[in-house]
Amino acid sequence: MDRPPQYVSVNAVNTRTGDWAAPDGRVTSAGVYTLSGLNTQAIRISFVATRATHDPAWHPDPVSVVAGSTRNLDLHVPTS
């Protein structure tokens, strides 16, 4: 049985400036994460989990977000 990681960190970085775009994402025990407080911008998403390497993985494409809206992404934690 593939158990979920004990720790997951999801982060957003502004693609233009490289600055943090929001506080760390909140991740539930079901593996659903939420990033709140984003302004309208293009971001890159990085994520780390305990069952994977300690180096962050990156969502392959920049993501355009609009303040106050919701985007759904499916992140896959690397296993090696």
| Structural domain boundaries in the chain | 8-65
Q: For the beta carbon of residue 64, count every other beta carbon within 10 angstroms.
A: 12
The letter for the amino acid at 27 is: V
- Convert the pLDDT of each residue in 11-62 to its tens digit: 999 999 999 998 888 888 777 888 888 999 999 999 887 765 667 889 999 9
Identify any residues that bridge with 79 across adjacent strands, giving them in sequence order: none
The letter for the amino acid at 41 is: Q
* CA pair distance 51, 66, nearest whole angstrom: 32
The pTM of the full predicted model, rounded to 2 decimals, is 0.79
Structure tokens at 75: 């992140």
SS3 58: strand
